[in-house]
A = this chain, B = another copy of it.
Amino acid sequence: MKAIVLFAHGSRDPHWHLPMVAVKERIAHSHPDALVACAYLELSTPDLATAVASFSSQGVTDIRVVPMFLGVGKHVRHDLPLMMDELKSQYPDIHFECMQAVGEHPELLDLLAKIAWA
């Protein structure tokens, strides 16, 4: 059983999360059986460990983590790999895949350029 974690920065402002939730809902709409959760680095809940623990208790065997970051800095290049290492050692029976940050995805960069120019 596979699951996706949309991993974003987090914020005290509840409006901040709406785009993350909207992406989650889009996936759930297209793939009604999909297991998808949002998780946050700081200021918001759940954190990544809690989201993974929840999926683990549901018998999930494969977890893809999608870093929902436009800028690719310390959080993505340093903090997240450390968290992934910890999860891998804590859940040796789960296969984890950490994708590149969305801000590194060429199609997303193309779309951002199109949106900015349109």
CA distance A5 to B52 in the complex (A): 38
Q: Let me know if A108 and B115 touch, CB within 8 A.
A: yes
CA distance A73 to B60 in the complex (A): 32
CB-CB under 8 A for A112 and B116, given A16-B71, A17-B71:
no
CA distance A109 to B23 in the complex (A): 6
Chain B residue at smallest Cβ distance from A100: B115
What is the oligomeric copy number? Answer: 2
Q: Which positions in A face B, CB cutoff 8 Å?
A: 4, 6, 8-9, 11-13, 15-20, 22-23, 26-27, 30-31, 34, 36, 64, 66, 68-74, 77, 99, 102-105, 107-113, 115-117
- Of B22, B64, B73, B107, the contact of A111 (CB 8 Å cutoff): B107
